[in-house]
Amino acid sequence: KELAITLEERWGHSTQPRPEGKLVWIHAVSVGEGAAALPLISKILERAPETNILVTGGTLAAEEWRRYRYPGSVIRQSVPIDTRGAVQRFIAHWKPDIGVFIESELWPNLIDEAHKKGVRLFLFGARMSSKSAKRWQWPVANAMLNDALSKFQIISPRDIEQCRRFEQLGVPSGTLGSPCDLKLIASVAASTTNAE
Long-range contacts of 182-191 (CB under 8 A, 24+ apart): 182/36, 182/37, 182/39, 182/40, 182/102, 182/103, 182/124, 182/125, 182/158, 183/32, 183/35, 183/36, 183/125, 185/36, 185/39, 186/35, 186/36, 186/37, 186/38, 186/39, 189/38, 189/39, 189/42
Strands (E), 48-187: 52-57, 75-78, 98-102, 120-126, 152-157
State yes or no: is 33 an active-site residue: yes
Of the candidates 8, 9, 20, 33, the residue annotated as catalytic is 33
Q: Is 148 left (phi over 0), alpha (psi -120 to 50) or beta?
A: alpha
- Report, as residue numbers or ranges, the catalytic residues: 33
